Structures are given as structure tokens and as C-alpha cells.
Amino acid sequence: MKFYASKCHDRLNGSIFNPESVADAIMMNPNYSQVSVPVGYPYMLDSGAFQDVATEKRLSFKDALDRQLLFEKKMGSQAESIVSYDRLIDEQVENGKQFKCRVDTATGEQYVEETIQAAEYLAHALPTRQLVLSNQGTTVDQYVTCVENILRVAKPTDIIGIGGFCILSKSKKYKEDYFEIMKLILPKIKEKGVSRIHIFGMSVFDVLIRTEILCTEYGISPSYDTSSTELNSVFGRVFDPIDGMIHNVFKKEEKHNGYEPAGLSLLNIKNITDFWHNMDNINWREKP
């Protein structure tokens, strides 16, 4: 499982923040242009759709892509892959505050159609680039339909984006749906000749480990991104690469007087990266 560490700023709580020093790759976002990355360092460029929920300023597909291309220009290097401007089913806003809540099925149908259109637009606009074509769905059938439509425009070098599961830990049903969806779409992805998937903003380790093993059956390489390493580090939490869990280690009052969030975040990113490297060294299909 390839881990893309989130980077939205060059400083975290006042200290230099450079996840690229310990991560295999990073996820960057065009909504945060005051950030840097070494020229040639591998990064995936998100669409900015998550942040646009809070501002309630949904862009056109063209404007969203122009924002991404302008970001690349400021970085001085091209992203290894670029994400389609999907319509998020699990993010809503009320009275100016964004919160996680899945939309109803009828609204989901509209969002799925917009997500498909976003993939179609990007595939037409950037035919030679590696794309991350995101998928959404409020039900299993809705999700599979979304994937089937997006696979029609996907190239073998593209990545199928798995969106809509950042709230997976909130309900047992979401987890059940996730695995049902994965078992239905992985054969379709393999049949299309696509060899990668990317999971957006979900860091539930038991689910990621099972996903890793499931993907090996189809010769598909999974990856994911999360900003949880930054958030947990601010509160003094540390990832244990042995049990795959985040633990409370420091107290709030020890911040800047016992631990620095930026340094702790780098430790978490390194631990998580090492965890997946260890997974890669194991043949899960081989009997002892």
C-alpha cells in the first residue's frame, strides 16, 4: 500500500514541516498555494473539491483544472498524477460550517452523474497525463454504476479513485458496503487493464490491510492519502507500526514543551511508511 502524506503548509505549529523528507510521496492541494516541494519529488495533485464544500463555491470543470495547472506552474514541476473534480457525497455545509454526513440517495444520484462528467472532462482535457478518476456513491449499486461509467474513459495508466469513505468508521454498514463494492469493482478494474486504485482520506488500518490483501488477488496496487498524521501529531498522538494504531502519548500541556507537532508528524509518517514497506515484503498468497 503506497501512502501519500498530506502537505498543505511548509510549517506546522510554527516549525518547518517537510513530509517529503520521510514519505515516499505526498498529496498536495491547489487550494493551498503557499507551499513548496522539491522539483522532481513525486506528488499527487488533488482537485480541491473538499475545500470548495465549505466555501460553497463549486467551480466549473475547466476552472478546477485551470487551478490545478496554475498550482503546478507555481511548484515548478508537474504532478505525477492529477485528480478529477468529483462531487463529494459525504461532505455538507450548514451555517458556514462543514460537516461529515452522507447525502440522500436521490442527491447522491445527481452527485454521481457530476462525478462521471468530471472524469470525462479530465480524460478529454489531459489525454496523455496520468489521471486519478474519482468515484462516489451512496449505495453499492450507485457506486458500481459510477465505476463502470468512469472505466469507459480510463486509460490503463490511470488510477481509479475510491472516494466517499472518509466516514467509514462512523457506521458498520459503511464498512460492509465498502468491501462489497471492492469485491465487485476490482474484477472490472482488472478487466479494463487498470492496475492502480487510490483511496481518498481514509486511514482505518484494518480496512486498509484487508484492501491491500484483496488487491493482490487481482494484481492491483492500492494507495491512499490522509491528513490524520498532521492532526494527530498536534494532539500528541503517535502511530505504532507494530499494532497499526494511533496512541495518546503526550498531554496537551506538553506541546512545545515535550514534543513539537511537526517533528511528531514526521515520526508518524515515517512509521506508517515503514509499516507498508514491511507489508510489501510479505507474500500473502504463499502458504507457510
| Predicted structure pTM score | 0.94
In this prediction, residue 285 carries a pLDDT of 59
Contact 185, 150 (CB under 8 A): no
Q: What is the pLDDT of residue 102?
A: 87
- Per-position pLDDT tens, the chain of length 288: 999 999 999 999 999 999 999 999 999 999 998 899 999 899 999 999 988 887 768 899 999 999 999 999 999 999 999 999 998 888 888 877 888 878 899 999 999 999 999 999 999 999 999 999 999 999 999 999 999 999 999 999 999 999 999 888 888 999 999 999 999 999 999 999 999 999 999 989 999 999 999 999 999 999 999 988 888 999 999 988 777 788 999 998 999 988 999 999 999 999 999 999 988 877 665 655
Query: Nearest CA to 177 among 141, 205, 147?
Result: 141
**CA-to-CA distance for 117 and 247, rounded, in angstroms?**
41
Residue/partner pairs of 266-269 with CB below 8 Å, 24 or more apart: 266/17, 266/18, 266/19, 266/21, 266/22, 267/233, 267/238, 267/239, 268/229, 268/232, 268/233, 268/237, 268/238, 268/239, 269/3, 269/5, 269/19, 269/22, 269/23, 269/229
Alpha helices in the chain (DSSP H): 49-55, 61-75, 105-125, 140-151, 172-192, 205-216, 228-234, 261-280
Per-residue pLDDT, 284: 62
DSSP letter assigned to residue 259: B
* Confidence (pLDDT) at 244: 78
Burial of 49 (0-12, 13-18, 19+ CB in 10 A): buried
CB pairs under 8 A, 24+ apart, for 180-183?
180/140, 181/137, 181/140, 181/143, 181/144, 182/211, 182/214, 183/214
Taking the C-alpha atoms of residue 126 and residue 227, their distance in angstroms, rounded to an integer, is 27
Going along the chain from its start, the domains and CATH numbers come out as 2-280 (3.20.20.105)
Best CA proximity match to 89, nearest among 106, 101, 77, 78: 101
Round to whole Å and give the CA distance between 117 and 123: 10
Give the HSE-up count for residue 140: Cα atoms under 13 Å, Cβ half-sphere: 13
Element (H, E) at 162: strand 159-162
C-alpha cell at 230: 498532521
Look at the chain and count its residues: 288
The Cα 121–Cα 134 span in angstroms is: 12
Q: Grid coordinates representing 157? A: 495508466
pLDDT of residue 112: 96
pLDDT for position 287: 52
